[in-house]
Chain A
Amino acid sequence: MNEEMNQKISQFLDNELDYDEALHLLQDLHTNPELTNTLNRYEAISHALKTDQFLNLSADFSAKVSQQLQHEPIHLLPRKKSATRSFPYQWLALAASVAVVSVLAVRSLPNPGDNDKLPASSLQVAQQQTPKNLPNPQVDTQKTESEIPLNARINDYLQAHNGSVYANNPNLKSIARVTTYNQK
């Protein structure tokens, strides 16, 4: 038993005990001066090996400190808020944010079932539905191609993708319309 405790003291000195073992050993050291003496000697040997100076602590060192502390008032500070307590709320907020983003993302996706219903291309619809009081984007693009090359590129893109599967999608039709409308 004693040998086992001494080995634990040796490990404690080397910082090789885990939390529970170290706490139990400290409690044993608190009640057993013989064990404290062993710790002090091992510490003194370790110190002497490194510094050539042997410094053996008196056995009642900690008892003297404890005795002096008897007259000291105790501390009663408010408990610190545990960091782990705030975690559930943070995770909840994060999960809610992810859910909202997911719903928005799903709603903005094109509905593949609608593709067959509308045979007309998006370009055709865009041209038909352009408001009359707005300039025709195609004509306008030809006129000001050097000034606003972006419009030309958009129209080229729409024409190039005229026959694609997505061109018949009503969601994309509205996008095409808005794009044309915005590019003055």
Chain B
Amino acid sequence: MNSQKRTSEHLDEDLVARVQQGDKKAYDLLVIKYQHKIVQLVNRYLKDPSEAQDVAQEAFIKAYRAIGSFRGDSTFYTWLYRIAINTAKNYLVSRSRRSSQYEVDIQDAEATENAPQLQGIETPERLLMNEEIVKVIRSAIDNLPDEMRTAIMLREFEGMSYEEIAEAMECPVGTVRSRIFRAREAIDNKLNPLLTNGDF
């Protein structure tokens, strides 16, 4: 697991070095790699997925502008994470100035950063849709064959590496890889009709 982590960090370092040498495409790859994490992070503060995407885009632009000063004292993701949080906080401040209706306490936002369920300014329709989607995902997980369910749960809930899961389940790493992928595919197939018809 550790060696994989190092590999991932090396990839980031190399991509950052390429951006610093004028390669904008390398930055696109960093955006693809971290876009989802950054939008999730910003959404914890804003509690509005569409606004979160706009603010996350702004955070990526700010990070690009500042990347010349990135010296690798922390990992790229840690650095980007800080920029995203600051951008979200600034957005909240400016939004609260614009309208008292959206006044948000930043400290509250920080306190609920890791809260599993957020009650935000999402529309009731969206909340209902979210509820339905989560229900479908849970149901899909319950209907998975035992080995697949165990593999995906060890990965998602316990954060175990493929090697650790292989050891726990007494099977080859390749089998774990395949089981986790099949599980995701099965959930995705159940979800697809909802996503194509819905607002998400």
Contacts and interface: CB of A to CB of B under 8 A. Distances in A.
Most buried by B among A6, A14, A50, A51: A14
Interface string B146-186: 00000000011100011000000000000001101100110
Nearest to A70: B24
A26 B7 CA distance: 14
A77 B68 contact: yes
A99 interface: no
Nearest to B130: A54
A108 interface: no
Interface residues of A, number: 52
A117 B24 CA distance: 81
Interface string B12-39: 0000010111101101110111011101
Max count, chain A CB within 10 A of own CB: residue among B32, B33, B137, B178? B32
Interface string A44-79: 111111111111111001101110110010111101
A41 B157 CA distance: 18
In the complex, which of the residues A6, A26, A53, A74 has the most CB atoms of chain B within 10 Å of its own CB atom?
Answer: A53
B78 to A, nearest CB: 15
Contacts of B130: 53-54
Contacts of A52: 116-117, 134
B161 A79 contact: no
Contact of A41 (B5, B39, B191): B191
A74 B24 contact: yes
A16 B141 contact: no
Interface stretch (B59-67, B83-91, B92-100): B59-67
A30 B5 contact: no
A98 B68 CA distance: 42
Given A44-B36, A45-B187, A54-B137, A68 B21 contact: no
Given A19-B10, A22-B7, A68-B57, A54 B134 contact: yes
19 contacts: A7-B177, A10-B180, A14-B161, A14-B180, A19-B10, A22-B8, A23-B11, A29-B32, A41-B188, A42-B188, A43-B36, A53-B130, A55-B36, A57-B35, A62-B28, A62-B35, A69-B28, A69-B64, A75-B21
Complex A-B, nearest 9 residue pairs according to Cβ-Cβ distance, in ascending order: A43-B36, A74-B22, A10-B181, A26-B29, A54-B133, A77-B20, A7-B181, A56-B200, A62-B31
